[in-house]
Amino acid sequence: MAFCESTKITVMSLFLELGLKEPINKALTDLGYEKPTVIQEKAIPQIISSTDDLKAFAQTGTGKTAAFSLPILQLLDSNSGNVQAIILSPTRELAVQIGNNIKDFCKYLPSVKVTTVYGGSSMEDQIRSLKRGSQIVVGTPGRTVDLIKRRALKLGNVQWLVLDEADEMLNMGFKDELDKVLEATPDTKQTLLFSATFPREVESIAKNYMTNPVEITSGQKNQGSDNVNHEYYAVTERTRYPALKRIADLNPNIYAIIFCRTRRETQEVADNLIKDGYSADALHGDLSQGQRDSVMGKFRKKTIQILVATDVAARGLDVTELTHVINHKLPDQIENYTHRSGRTGRAGNKGISIVLVNGKEKGKLRPIEKIIQKKFVEAKVPSGKDICQNQLMNLIDKVQDIEVNETQINEFLPNIYEKLEGLDREQLIQKFVSLEFNTMLAYYENAKDLNDLSSRDNSRARTVDENMTRFFINIGRKDNLNPGKLIGLINEQNIGDKVEIGSIDILDTFSFFEIDKNFEDKTLEAFSSNQPDFDGRSVNVEITKKERSGGGRRGGKKPFGKKDGGFGRRRSSEGSSSSSRRSSDSGNSRGRSSDRPDRSSGGERRSSGGFGRKRRES
Ligand code: AMP
């Protein structure tokens, strides 16, 4: 999320102005919080000044944890060891995250104690911690109820009950547990309900358990969403998985979550990606707590680039640098799309939220557009050649940026120079590039146009227009290019009065556009004589062949070879894995699987065993 710059003095006063005391401000300054977020600005003074119940519309990433916990820290009686606040959260991960956040917030409030309770972890340790006296307890619903039943958790003095991500808790079937916790708390408490969506079930909780709640909202969307572009790819069931792989291949530096609806779908997509050599893993409710922690740890450290996850399991994973969120399938409840897409475009970064839709699913896009108040842009599944070009440019960027360690490499160089004698500069470049590149080229050599396949059941998919010439241009999304700017750039070249511009594909580091065939030469001439630049980058335009295989685009040279190379990914042929195939018995298949949407509670629900076992499906 983007937080404005401000000086330290302003920082202090901004949080002090909301009514918070100095030790809390000091902790916030240490955390680098410079300015309250919208939900914090609204909730903090409201909770401090009034005991009215509160209903807050707030999405993931809006700063809602601080919004409800800071006023509680401000008001609670640190001399008493009684539980004064109980915070319920749907998953263990989220509970742990909230507990840790609060511990950070009370860095300078030494008498305040926080205990986090959740399933899948020692109940005895949690009971011991409660016995030592905690003013704040954060818990998952099931474990909280277990501890109430054992009389280890006494909620008779609770002043604040926070229901965080209330919609998710109800989605996950925690209605009974919520009822039990609500019963165990006194009527005098203040209930603070935070939810990203307000379906009927959440409204009925609000109606039955809250008295005239004050309503606040963090605005239409969190700030991150403004930084997110939404794209859809038209696919069929046959092309869904190959399209997914091509999207990953087009973006060599991808750091993404692929969202799936069910645990089985999640495991299968992850298995297939791993088998096809991608840096991926699965995260869903069938994994044991240890497995989930390990996968999340690897993803946070970027040891894996692609996390395939269910909505529920991905909660509590706080990563700010995702380049992409990919909806392998749209969520059952379209409101959850905002949860998913809000995972990217955070902390001022740009993000892309991609949806793969078949003909039937496309109808879901419009209602989502209404919620996000943005249009989905149709993107074409990249061709093999698009991918090879992107990968090649990425490789060249890396070559440009690599630092040469002269002291280490110098002693080897004379031998190397001797061996490579006789090769001129061009040949050398060709050989080194091919070394890295040939696997991808071979892999995509006869790759089909997946858009043609999908166009059968998709009226909005584009087809190749024979009256148009397709041009490659060396600038893309990363240069802040968009279709409007590209049209402007083309028009500035004065190619002709009535020149027709066809389809435009903006990719990360380069783009394609179509121009009326009759203006093919003029377009090339105009760009070459005007030598325009775009945002300081000199622009280069070349004709791209429509057919997707064979040949290079640079002056008839053959930059693409056929030798084996080390692309870093082990590949079989493109169609080798499909999302419909049963999961293999590979080491990555874990636990039992389910076709139901993942409602597991992050270690909360007890399984009938079998975690860690390889899955066998008949
Ligand atoms: P939350 O919505 O509570 O999960 O918060 C999302 C992220 O924003 C977390 O990493 C918080 O630490 C961070 N955050 C919350 N409030 C602020 C703030 N006022 N300034 C800077 N970062 C914040």
479-516 pLDDT, tens digit per residue, is 888 888 888 899 889 887 777 787 888 888 888 888 88
* Domain closes at, from 192, 217, 242: 217
Do residues 464 and 510 make contact, with C-beta atoms less than 8 angstroms apart?
Answer: no
Q: Which atom of ligand 1 is closest in space to residue 222's alpha carbon?
A: 2
Task: Judge if the beta carbon of residue 36 lies within 6 A of ligand 1.
Answer: yes
* Per-residue model confidence (pLDDT) at position 603: 36
pLDDT band of residue 437 (cuts 50, 70, 90) is: confident
Residue nearest (by alpha carbon) to ligand 1 atom 18: 33
For residue 456, is it within any domain?
Answer: no
The answer to whether residue 563 scores a pLDDT higher than 70 is no
Are both 48 and 131 inside the same structural domain? yes
Strands of the sheet containing 306-310, edge to edge, are: 280-283, 306-310, 256-260, 324-327, 351-357, 228-234, 377-378
What are the b/e assignments for 478-511, b being 16+ CB within 10 Å?
ebebeeeebeebbeebebeeebebbbbbbbbbbb
The residue whose CB lies within 8 Å of the most ligand 1 atoms, and thus the one to mutate among 1, 68, 165, is 1
Segment 385-391 mean pLDDT: 87
Question: Which strand (E) or helix (H) includes residue 434?
Answer: helix 425-444
* Per-residue model confidence (pLDDT) at position 287: 87
| 10 CA → ligand 1 middle, Å | 18
Range of the domain at 536: 464-580
**pTM exceeding 0.75:** no
Q: Which of 140-149, 172-181, 240-249 has the lowest mean pLDDT?
A: 172-181
Q: Which residue has the higher pLDDT, 358 or 617?
A: 358
Are both 161 and 259 inside the same structural domain? no
Are both 279 and 326 inside the same structural domain? yes
Q: Would you state the structure tokens that stand for residue 507, as one six-digit string?
A: 């990719």
* Per-residue model confidence (pLDDT) at position 138: 98
Are both 405 and 432 inside the same structural domain? yes
Are both 521 and 538 inside the same structural domain? yes
Residue nearest (by alpha carbon) to ligand 1 atom 19: 36
Segment 159-183 mean pLDDT: 89
For residue 609, is it within any domain?
Answer: no
* Averaged pLDDT of the chain: 80
Task: Judge if the beta carbon of residue 15 lies within 6 A of ligand 1.
Answer: no
Do residues 305 and 278 make contact, with C-beta atoms less than 8 angstroms apart?
Answer: yes
Are both 525 and 495 inside the same structural domain? yes
CA nearest neighbour of 250 among 546, 508, 31: 508
Residue nearest (by alpha carbon) to ligand 1 atom 20: 33
Q: Which residue has the higher pLDDT, 316 or 205?
A: 205
Are both 198 and 51 inside the same structural domain? yes
Task: Judge if the beta carbon of residue 342 lies within 6 A of ligand 1.
Answer: no
Could you give phi then psi for residue 176, rounded to 5 degrees?
Answer: -60, -45
| 3-state SS, residue 101 | helix
Start-to-end CA span in the chain (Å): 45
Residue nearest (by alpha carbon) to ligand 1 atom 1: 63
Q: Would you state the structure tokens that stand for residue 334, as one six-digit string?
A: 């379209």
Q: Which of 4-18, 404-418, 432-446, 530-544 has the lowest mean pLDDT?
A: 4-18
Are both 247 and 373 inside the same structural domain? yes
Residue nearest (by alpha carbon) to ligand 1 atom 13: 63
Task: Judge if the beta carbon of residue 70 lies within 6 A of ligand 1.
Answer: no
Q: Measure CA 278 to chain center.
A: 17
The answer to whether residue 81 scores a pLDDT higher than 50 is yes
Q: Would you state the structure tokens that stand for residue 371, as one six-digit string?
A: 């919620």
Do residues 515 and 465 make contact, with C-beta atoms less than 8 angstroms apart?
Answer: no
* Per-residue model confidence (pLDDT) at position 608: 27
Residue nearest (by alpha carbon) to ligand 1 atom 15: 63
The answer to whether residue 92 scores a pLDDT higher than 70 is yes
Task: Judge if the beta carbon of residue 318 lies within 6 A of ligand 1.
Answer: yes
CA nearest neighbour of 235 among 466, 578, 582, 583: 578
The answer to whether residue 289 scores a pLDDT higher than 60 is yes
What are the b/e assignments for 75-85, b being 16+ CB within 10 Å?
bbeeeebebbb
Q: How far apart are CA 324 and CA 334, in angstroms?
A: 19
Do residues 349 and 227 make contact, with C-beta atoms less than 8 angstroms apart?
Answer: yes
* Per-residue model confidence (pLDDT) at position 329: 94
Q: Would you state the structure tokens that stand for residue 441, as one six-digit string?
A: 């080229």
Q: Would you state the structure tokens that stand for residue 136, as one six-digit string?
A: 């704040």
Are both 9 and 145 inside the same structural domain? yes
* 411: DSSP letter: G
The residue whose CB lies within 8 Å of the most ligand 1 atoms, and thus the one to mutate among 13, 20, 37, is 37
Contacts of 345 (CB under 8 A, 6+ apart): 224, 225, 226, 227, 228, 351, 353
Task: Judge if the beta carbon of residue 66 lies within 6 A of ligand 1.
Answer: yes
* Per-residue model confidence (pLDDT) at position 280: 95
Segment 520-549 mean pLDDT: 83
Q: Would you state the structure tokens that stand for residue 324, as one six-digit string?
A: 């992409």
| 3-state SS, residue 310 | strand
* Per-residue model confidence (pLDDT) at position 389: 86
Crossing angle of helices 8-17/22-31, nearest 10°? 130
* Per-residue model confidence (pLDDT) at position 370: 83
Strongest mean pLDDT among 311-320, 384-393, 543-552: 384-393
CA dihedral 87, 90, 94, 100 (to 10 degrees): 20
Are both 179 and 273 inside the same structural domain? no
The answer to whether residue 219 scores a pLDDT higher than 70 is no
For residue 155, is it within any domain?
Answer: yes
For residue 451, is it within any domain?
Answer: no
Work out the burial of residue 333: count CB atoms within 10 Å of its CB; fewer than 13 is exposed, 13-18 middle, 19 or more buried.
Answer: middle
* Domain closes at, from 196, 217, 238: 217
Q: Measure CA 291 to chain center.
A: 20
Are both 305 and 360 inside the same structural domain? yes
Q: How far apart are CA 473 and CA 457, in angstroms?
A: 31
For residue 455, is it within any domain?
Answer: no
Are both 418 and 556 inside the same structural domain? no
* 251: DSSP letter: -
| 63 CA → ligand 1 middle, Å | 4
Count of structural domains, the chain = 4
Task: Judge if the beta carbon of residue 1 lies within 6 A of ligand 1.
Answer: yes
Question: Which strand (E) or helix (H) includes residue 96?
Answer: helix 92-105
Do residues 285 and 310 make contact, with C-beta atoms less than 8 angstroms apart?
Answer: yes
Residue nearest (by alpha carbon) to ligand 1 atom 16: 63
For residue 452, is it within any domain?
Answer: no
Task: Judge if the beta carbon of residue 59 lies within 6 A of ligand 1.
Answer: no
Task: Judge if the beta carbon of residue 104 lies within 6 A of ligand 1.
Answer: no
* 587: DSSP letter: T
Q: How far apart are CA 306 and CA 322, in angstroms?
A: 10
The answer to whether residue 381 scores a pLDDT higher than 60 is yes
* Per-residue model confidence (pLDDT) at position 579: 34
CATH of the domain at 489: 3.30.70.330
* Domain closes at, from 190, 217, 244: 217
Beta bridge partners of 606: none
pLDDT band of residue 220 (cuts 50, 70, 90) is: very low
Q: Which of 318-322, 353-357, 433-437, 574-578 has the lowest mean pLDDT?
A: 574-578
Task: Judge if the beta carbon of residue 64 lies within 6 A of ligand 1.
Answer: yes
* Per-residue model confidence (pLDDT) at position 546: 53
The answer to whether residue 216 scores a pLDDT higher than 70 is yes
Segment 72-99 mean pLDDT: 94
Task: Judge if the beta carbon of residue 84 lies within 6 A of ligand 1.
Answer: no
Residue nearest (by alpha carbon) to ligand 1 atom 6: 61
Task: Judge if the beta carbon of residue 222 lies within 6 A of ligand 1.
Answer: no
For residue 170, is it within any domain?
Answer: yes
Strongest mean pLDDT among 40-49, 60-69, 504-513, 584-593: 40-49
The residue whose CB lies within 8 Å of the most ligand 1 atoms, and thus the one to mutate among 34, 65, 104, 322, is 65
CATH of the domain at 68: 3.40.50.300
The answer to whether residue 223 scores a pLDDT higher than 50 is no
Could you give phi then psi for residue 51, rounded to 5 degrees?
Answer: -95, 10
* Per-residue model confidence (pLDDT) at position 545: 66
Residue nearest (by alpha carbon) to ligand 1 atom 14: 63
* Per-residue model confidence (pLDDT) at position 154: 96
Q: How far apart are CA 274 and CA 276, in angstroms?
A: 5
Read out DSSP for 329-372? S--SSTTHHHHHHTTSS-TT--EEEEEEE-TTGGGGHHHHHHHH
For residue 521, is it within any domain?
Answer: yes
Give CB contacts under 8 A, 24+ apart, made by 579-583: 579/237, 579/240, 579/241, 579/244, 579/265, 579/268, 579/269, 579/272, 579/328, 580/237, 581/268, 581/272, 582/268, 582/617, 583/264, 583/267, 583/268, 583/271, 583/615, 583/617
